[in-house]
């Protein structure tokens, strides 16, 4: 079973992940309205690029935007969760040992205590987000079972990985469960709302270009935007 989930199934998961993301990017760009979304972009490239980078950077760092500063605790937990979600799997020692074993490559690795701490942070952050969805009426109103399912898919690899690392009873079962949960997570990213993993950058760039050129971005340049 271990050979199968770390071999053919892993290849399939990564293929769906990468191909799926490419498809989502292409569909997003093709879905832009040529009249509304791309107007003057080609003629005012420098303003567009400046606006896109500004938009991405201000949203990429904690409290960089007004929306982040208006919700300080929510912002803290969201950034802690995403930091752990991104960096723990990539730089985990066990994952890099597997990469070296299977494909002959490896990356810099986190100290195991740091990776352990980040795992706990991800689990606690997801719990906080679940409680927030339950507690706040304005959030509960727009929350569906689908949202809880996505949170479960995101946190499952961390819970199972934590149990496997700390040698919970029936270690082999937890290890297989961890690998399977990780592969489900990879497959789910391009196929669900988890695709914001990449679409965040596209949407922020689009909005940044829009505001960088229009809506006052080129104020005083002779354009009536």
In the predicted structure, residue 35 carries a pLDDT above the cut 70: no
CB 85 within 8 A of CB 119: no
Over range 17-28, report the average pLDDT.
Answer: 93
CB 219 within 8 A of CB 50: no
Task: Name, of 19-33, 94-108, 120-134, 195-209, the range with top average pLDDT.
Answer: 120-134
How far is C-alpha 92 from the chain's CA centre?
17
User: For position 24, what pLDDT does the model report?
Assistant: 93
CB 154 within 8 A of CB 85: yes
User: For position 18, what pLDDT does the model report?
Assistant: 94
The model's pLDDT over 143-172, given as tens digits with 9 standing for 90+, comes to: 999 999 999 999 999 999 999 888 888 888
User: For position 216, what pLDDT does the model report?
Assistant: 54
Q: State the DSSP string of 110-160.
A: --HHHHHHHHHHHHHHHHHHHHHHHH-HHHHTT--HHHHHHHHHHHHHHHH
Which residues, 6+ apart, have CB-to-CB distance to 194 below 8 Å?
150, 153, 154, 185, 188
Which residues, 6+ apart, have CB-to-CB distance to 201 below 8 Å?
56
Query: Which tops the pLDDT comparison, 55 or 46?
Result: 55
Distance between first and last Cα of the chain: 61
The model's pLDDT over 25-34, given as tens digits with 9 standing for 90+, comes to: 999 888 776 6
| Residues above pLDDT 70, as percent of the chain | 87
User: For position 214, what pLDDT does the model report?
Assistant: 66
Prediction pTM value? 0.83
Task: For domain 2-212, give the fold.
Answer: Fumarate Reductase Cytochrome B subunit (1.20.950)
The model's pLDDT over 103-135, given as tens digits with 9 standing for 90+, comes to: 777 788 888 889 999 999 999 999 999 999 999
Q: What angle do CA 67, 20, 183 make, to 5 degrees?
A: 90
The C-alpha atoms of residue 111 and residue 109 are separated, in whole angstroms, by 7
Say how many C-beta atoms besides its own lie within 10 A of residue 135's C-beta: 9
The C-alpha atoms of residue 86 and residue 29 are separated, in whole angstroms, by 25
In the predicted structure, residue 48 carries a pLDDT above the cut 80: no
Over range 186-210, report the average pLDDT.
Answer: 88
The C-alpha atoms of residue 189 and residue 16 are separated, in whole angstroms, by 9
User: For position 5, what pLDDT does the model report?
Assistant: 83
The C-alpha atoms of residue 208 and residue 54 are separated, in whole angstroms, by 7
In the predicted structure, residue 201 carries a pLDDT above the cut 60: yes
Query: Which tops the pLDDT comparison, 107 or 35?
Result: 107
User: For position 108, what pLDDT does the model report?
Assistant: 83
Say how many C-beta atoms besides its own lie within 10 A of residue 122's C-beta: 24
User: For position 123, what pLDDT does the model report?
Assistant: 95
């Amino acid at each position: 079973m271990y050979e199968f989930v770390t071999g053919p199934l892993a290849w399939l998961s990564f293929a769906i992940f990468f191909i799926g993301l490419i498809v989502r990017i292409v569909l997003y760009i093709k879905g832009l309205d040529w009249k509304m979304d791309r107007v003057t972009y080609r003629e005012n490239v420098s303003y567009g690029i400046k606006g896109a980078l500004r938009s991405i950077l201000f949203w990429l760092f904690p409290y960089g935007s007004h929306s982040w500063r208006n919700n300080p605790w929510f912002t803290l937990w969201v950034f802690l969760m995403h930091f752990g979600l991104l960096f723990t799997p990539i730089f985990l020692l066990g994952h890099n040992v597997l990469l070296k074993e299977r494909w002959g490559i490896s990356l810099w690795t986190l100290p195991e205590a740091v990776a352990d701490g980040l795992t706990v942070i991800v689990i606690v952050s997801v719990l906080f987000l679940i409680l927030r969805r339950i507690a706040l009426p304005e959030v509960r109103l727009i929350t569906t079972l689908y949202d809880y399912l996505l949170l479960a898919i995101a946190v499952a690899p961390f819970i199972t990985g934590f149990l496997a690392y700390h040698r919970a009873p029936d270690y082999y079962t937890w290890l297989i469960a961890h690998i399977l949960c990780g592969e489900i997570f990879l497959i789910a990213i391009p196929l669900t709302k988890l695709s914001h993993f990449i679409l965040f950058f596209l949407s922020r760039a689009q909005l940044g270009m829009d505001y960088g050129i229009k809506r006052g971005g080129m104020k005083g340049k002779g354009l009536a935007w």
